Amino acid sequence: MNGSTVSGSNVNGSSVGTAIAGTSIVGTLIRKDLYFMRGAMLAAIGTGVFALALMPISRMLSYVAAVILICVLIVLNIFLVMQGVAQERKEKTMLFILSLPVSAMDYTVAKVMASGIAFGVPWLVLTAATAITIVVSPIPDGVLPYWMTLLCYLLAYFCALLGIALLKDSTGWHAAAITLGNVSVNFLIPILLTRPSVSQHADGPVAVWSGDLVAILVVELLIGFAVLGYGVYAHARRPDFV
């Protein structure tokens, strides 16, 4: 009986030790990715803040600032996903990582969390800075719902691209996803600006959240999160990583 107890204790201790080791490695993998992504994060925040500083000066500079801000987040998105996920598999870095005591799910979660932090922090900072700039500057508060809907699309675009990078190894799939994401934003902007719910309130002093804008925002986020969720699930369950 004592032997059985000791044996059981050893098994439980081994399981706990493996879980702790796995958790430690996941944290190390996240920190490793964030270390290499820190330059892109800081560059995106710095450029985005510079663009927002131009926005209240004039209509022309406001347009320039909008283009810069959108391009900054799109470039950051593509860089993080292609460099952090697609390129790592291409260079066989995963072969070394998966030789460590870490499961496929642990690796996938670490990769998604690192990429999510690397994009999410600049996105959150610049989204908050955009809202603050609009509220405290002479820019009409009526454009705030339009901007929030557009910035949420960029977040959904990141989630979808990351999900596709996890699902597919083909550069053709990646190129198609990037092309679709980049082109679709050029259609989304005029669609939003020409909607009566936006055009009628854009120059007003109050932000008006209409039902159609809320619906667009919710749908774009649901699509992005759904693609990412399925990408995480499928990537962690794939039979091979080489």
DSSP letter (8 states) at residue 142: G
CA distance 176 to 161: 10
Each residue's pLDDT expressed in tens, for the chain with a length of 242 residues: 454 444 444 444 444 334 444 457 778 888 988 998 999 999 999 999 999 999 998 888 888 999 999 999 999 999 999 887 766 666 555 555 556 666 777 788 888 999 999 999 999 999 999 999 999 999 999 999 999 999 999 999 999 999 999 888 788 889 999 999 999 999 999 999 999 989 898 888 899 999 999 999 999 999 999 999 999 888 777 655 54
pTM of the model: 0.85
Tens digit of each residue's pLDDT (9 = 90 or more) over 97-130? 556 666 777 788 888 999 999 999 999 999 999 9
- The residue written with tokens 């990582």 in the block is 97
Assess contact for 146 and 200: CB atoms under 8 A: no
HSE-CB at 184 with a 13 A cutoff on CA atoms is 13
Assess contact for 33 and 110: CB atoms under 8 A: yes
Among positive and negative, which fits the CA dihedral 223, 111, 231, 175? positive
pLDDT of residue 234: 86
pLDDT of residue 179: 94
Phi, psi of 2 (to 5 degrees): -65, -40
pLDDT of residue 41: 96
